[in-house]
Amino acid sequence: MGVLSELNPQAVFTYFEALCHIPHGSGNMGKISDFCVEFAEKNGLWFYQDEANNVIIKKPASCGYEYAAPIILQGHLDMVCQKEEGSTIQFETDGIDLVREGDYIRAKGTTLGADNGIAVAMIMAILADKELSHPPIEAVFTTDEEIGMIGAGKLDMSVLQSKRMLNIDSEDPAVVTVSCAGGSDFWAHIPVSREQREGTTVVLTVKGLRGGHSGVEINSGRVNANFLMGRLLHSLSKACSFDIISIDGGDKGNAIPVSCTAKVLTTQPEQVIAAFESCAVVIRDEIKSREPEFSWLAETTGTGVADVMAKETSDKLLHTLLLAPNGVLEMSADIENLVETSLNMGILKTEKDAVSVLFALRSNKSTALAFLEEKLTVFFNAMGCAIKTGGHYPPWEYKNDSVLRDLYIEKYREKTDKTPRVEAIHAGLECGVFAAAIPDFDCISIGPEMHDIHTVKERLSINSTKEIYEIICRMLADLK
């Protein structure tokens, strides 16, 4: 018996728990893709699996809906893999351990992957149910959404017949999303020159920050650990002498970094630690209302000769961490409270010959996104850095006349006696990829209540999942 086996609708939670048992972090899609194929075969449904491990499953219309236009039900198979410090989970081989707490499901010490496993589970339950009334269904399960919508970008859209789609990749049932940002990844590689010096190695760490999704939470005041470390190192450089050995923070471009560690070499370890802690106390008092769990650690690890960054290299690094743009750049003048353009330094990594930084760029306007790439290019070219861009995905434009939007509003009102908000989102959704490929496309994004996605605090509401599943089934029954 599974942890969720007693929940109803049982099929949804049974499929979700089965998906959680399969490793499915971004880039590790083979097993979960094959699971979808096995599901289709077991239920006698037509399926298509491509080289990117995307899976399309088609279910014929129920009786009386044979002449209805088809609809796509869509979700992505990959999850963001984050774990608590000290966790022994190996995401490449291990499944997720689920925990029920009242109305919520969470994972033990890791991200839950309800983004977007619960969508896949709901769609599977609909495909397997022989009693539901519905038009022809094209279920689309895409891969590597979290690292740039790679699967959707490789999908052969000619396999699909529908011009309307329910994307189930949102986190608030009281919101129907009708537009999203486009985005890209921007890599810069700061060249590293090294010199040998003798001294004491001090490891400096900032941690305990809230982190979160670099689109949805970019305007929430959450502090980026990489830039926080830059501020601390700058302050430290005015108080004592040291050389930087390495600096590393964040491991996902689309997640605001929660920690950063710098290794420095110094002949003044006591002064370095004291100055670091003094500045950290000042910052703690400054950001405590936004980052109540911010903490730090400074400790020596030994004395001897080490390869340190030459002054030219460390100057370029601190220049980047002090002056590079980050966070919200522009708010929309058309949609209230919508972030229009932003970026997030999600990865800062010291390699053998370079310090690599990855920014996740987002904008609801393609021209603004292109200019942001140009702006970063000028910034890093001035320091002689190698740059690379990739992972481009298009924005999803607002559609004035949407049958699906109006139908969701109607069914949500019937279920809850409330009216959902119609919003745009400053985050990438695969809707943009589909909209760019399918003319006259009608799409909305909906989903059950979730909190703190992309973090180890991620949790999914059980009652909200039931509610959204029922609303989707009611919508399908009305699409004759």
User: Residues with catalytic annotation?
Assistant: 78, 145
CA atoms of 328 and 342, how far apart (whole Å): 4
3-state secondary structure of 332: coil
The type of residue at 141 is F
Find tokens 């096995």 and name the residue: 38
8 A C-beta contact, residue 310 and residue 195: yes
Contacting residues for 334 by C-beta, under 8 A, at least 6 apart: none
Contacting residues for 473 by C-beta, under 8 A, at least 6 apart: 126, 132, 134
Contacting residues for 370 by C-beta, under 8 A, at least 6 apart: none
CA atoms of 33 and 105, how far apart (whole Å): 24
Nearest 5 degrees, angle CA 50-CA 56-CA 57?
135
8 A C-beta contact, residue 13 and residue 98: no
Contacting residues for 134 by C-beta, under 8 A, at least 6 apart: 59, 61, 62, 65, 71, 126, 473, 476, 477, 479
Closest among 4, 29, 252 to 106, alpha carbons compared = 4
DSSP state of 359: E
The type of residue at 216 is V
CA atoms of 145 and 213, how far apart (whole Å): 14
Q: Which pair of tokens denotes residue 237?
A: 């450089």
What distances in angstroms separate CA 110 from CA 96, 181, 226, 452, one per listed residue?
7, 27, 22, 12
DSSP state of 157: G
CA atoms of 116 and 170, how far apart (whole Å): 9
